[in-house]
Every structure is written in C-alpha cells, then in structure tokens.
Amino acid sequence: MSVDSEAAEAVAELLSRCTGRGIAIEQALAGEPQFEGPASGGLLARGGPLAVVGYLLAGEEAEGPLRQAREGLWHLGQLWAGVGALAVRAIEEEDWATAWRQHFHVTRVGRRCVIVPTWRDHTPAPEEVVIALDPGLAFGTGQHPSTRLCLRGLEDYTLPSMEALDLGTGSGILAIAAAQLGARRVLALDTDPVAVRAARENAARNGLAEAISVQQGSLELAPAGSFHLAVANLTAQALLDLARPLLGALRPGGIAIVSGFLEERQPEVATALKQAGGNVRAALAEEGWCALVVRRRGDRP
Ligand code: SAH
C-alpha cells in the first residue's frame, strides 16, 4: 500500500467530515488544480499523485469547517509526508455550471453504454445503452476510471430480471446502467441526500423511476440474501468495513462488482471479500484503479 493512497483516504475522511458531503479522490492534475463539478465553494487538498476534492457553500458558515480541515490536515501531515496543504478557492456557481459542462461530452464506456449529458444531443445506435445524466453535485459522471470499470462489469454480469443493488449510487449512473441492461429492479442507496436527489432525478430522466428505488441510507436498507447482483463503487476502507453485509445482501451465487480503490489495495480488499464468503472471479484495472468481480459462494441464485 503506498503512503499516498493511504494518506488520500485519511484526507478524504477528514474533508468529508468537515464538508458533510461526498469527496472525490482524483488522479492529480498537472499544473493548476481544477474542480470537477458545479459548486459555490471548493476545498482541495493535494498530495503525491492524488488530489482530494470537496465542496462547501461559501460564506461565514464555511469558516468553521475550513479551520477544522486545516487543523486536521496539519495533523495528518505529521503522520504522512505526502499530505499537501489545503487549497481553497471560491467558485461562482454560474461559472461552474458552464465550465464543467463544457468538459462533459457524450462518452462511450465498455461495449454498449453511452453516457449522454442532458445538455447534449445524441442519436443512439440500436445496440447502445443510453444513460442520460445530469450529475449535479453528486459523484458519478462516468469520467472516473472506477465508474467505468463498474460499467464494464455491469455489461458482463447483468442479466434480464435480476434484482440489483447499487451501494453508493451518487448520480445514479450505475443503477441506471443496470436497469438499462435488463435488471428488473434496482435498489440504489446513498448516505448523501444530495446524491439521493440527483439519482432520483436521473432515474426519472431515463424513464426508470419505477424500476429504480433510490433511498437515503446504506446496507441496513438492503434485505439480506435478496440480490442477484450488487455494485459498490466506494473506497478501500468502506469495502473492508462493508464486505460482510455487502456479500450478505447477495443471494448465494450472486455477484458483487466493487471498485473505488487503487491497485495496491486490491489484495487487501480481495482478502476481505473472500473472508466474507466470496470467490474472486475477475479483476479489472484502468489507470491504476481497480475493480473486483466477486461471487458469493453457494448455489446459483
Ligand atoms: N456509483 C457512482 C458514485 C460513486 S461515489 C459511480 O460509480 O460513479 C461513492 C458514493 O457512495 C458517494 O455518493 C457517497 O455519498 C456514497 N457512500 C459512501 N459511503 C457509503 C455508504 N457506506 N453507504 C452508502 N453510500 C455511501
């Protein structure tokens, strides 16, 4: 495990506590830091090859969280040499709305999935699975390698009439893909209310409001033993913590596709999933990010 990815998770945990919302860990960008979403205030901590990005509403109420973030980063900097200083920038909401949208194009992922931002036109070919999306402030544009790996896994493992679970749905992108690929019903969970709202809107946009149930919460809302397929694009630490209940939500023989961790954490995540009752069927990688396809031991569902 490299110090940088370990530090990035600790920094993400800190920023998520300070901002009270989801955090993105990104490959560091050359030159000036950039932000990947619309917001009226931003926080960016950079260290080693990774950038940890979080957003706060600008104004007086941001002062407390910023102080907390600075202090926390100072402490983490004592533990890990790779933790950079906090970079704070004010971002105009309107500027963001246009700035990031300009970079979000119609994107093909895997063999059949095409992500179409709601502000772009696309005439789909017959075999294409279209995911119409406005991620808003939620994570999940399909531009991140971990999301793309999960989409590839879903293409391989989604079968008609499956009951599917999307843990940490963000914009709803993976839940929508699972439903478009044939899953009968999808339970999409996220602890972040911003994500829940975005995912509901995106499900409706794709005509899938009935097929996808978006709920605020985590695995406590997923009945044990009931899913043929689960996808969870979280972090290494979250997967280590949730391996047992995640595999427990699957029917025996069910498949979990997990991602959101870097290559050096893969052995650890694989071991946790094995100990939780799974067999690793496949490992996918892109730009240093990994996904594992794990089958819950037992008879076919
Ligand atoms: N599925 C999307 C978004 C992944 S980002 C994609 O693949 O692009 C991870 C999401 O998981 C965030 O929206 C975050 O709020 C949510 N999350 C993190 N920990 C969670 C947990 N324990 N239970 C449910 N959601 C969680």
Q: How far apart are CA 109 and CA 106, in angstroms?
A: 10
Query: Could you tell me the distance, in angstroms and rounded to a whole number, from the CA of residue 242 to the centre of ligand 1?
Result: 12
Query: Could you tell me the distance, in angstroms and rounded to a whole number, from the CA of residue 94 to the centre of ligand 1?
Result: 26
Per-residue DSSP letter, 62: G
For position 199, what pLDDT does the model report?
96
Q: Mutate which of 17, 139, 165 to test ligand 1's pocket (most atoms within 8 Å of Cβ)?
A: 139
> Pocket residues for ligand 1 (CB within 6 Å)?
22, 138-140, 144, 147, 150, 167-170, 173-174, 189-192, 195, 218, 233-234, 238
For position 99, what pLDDT does the model report?
60
Q: How far apart are CA 73 and CA 92, in angstroms?
A: 25
Mean pLDDT, 10 residues at a time, the chain of 301 residues = 64 79 57 40 51 76 85 84 79 61 81 91 92 80 90 96 96 96 97 94 97 98 98 96 98 97 96 98 95 90 51
Specify the residue with its C-alpha closest to ligand 1, atom 13.
170
Query: Could you tell me the distance, in angstroms and rounded to a whole number, from the CA of residue 63 to the centre of ligand 1?
Result: 26
Q: How far apart are CA 17 and CA 31, in angstroms?
A: 27
Sequence-ordered alpha helix ranges (H) in the chain: 3-19, 63-79, 93-102, 145-157, 173-180, 193-205, 236-249, 266-275
Specify the residue with its C-alpha closest to ligand 1, atom 10.
168
For position 104, what pLDDT does the model report?
77
Q: Mutate which of 52, 233, 284 to test ligand 1's pocket (most atoms within 8 Å of Cβ)?
A: 233
Specify the residue with its C-alpha closest to ligand 1, atom 6.
140
Specify the residue with its C-alpha closest to ligand 1, atom 26.
168
Domains by residue range for the chain, with CATH = 2-91 (no CATH), 102-296 (3.40.50.150)
Query: Could you tell me the distance, in angstroms and rounded to a whole number, from the CA of residue 47 to the centre of ligand 1?
Result: 22
Query: Could you tell me the distance, in angstroms and rounded to a whole number, from the CA of residue 233 to the centre of ligand 1?
Result: 6
Query: Could you tell me the distance, in angstroms and rounded to a whole number, from the CA of residue 126 to the centre of ligand 1?
Result: 31
Quick check: 130 and 116 in contact, CB under 8 A? yes
Q: How far apart are CA 157 and CA 183, in angstroms?
A: 10
For position 95, what pLDDT does the model report?
60
For position 38, what pLDDT does the model report?
36
Nearest ligand 1 atom to the CA of 217 is 24
Burial class of residue 203 (count of CB atoms within 10 Å of its CB; 0-12, 13-18, 19+)? buried
Query: Could you tell me the distance, in angstroms and rounded to a whole number, from the CA of residue 236 to the centre of ligand 1?
Result: 12
Quick check: 107 and 124 in contact, CB under 8 A? no
**pTM (two decimals):** 0.73
C-alpha angle 57/63/67, rounded to 5°? 120
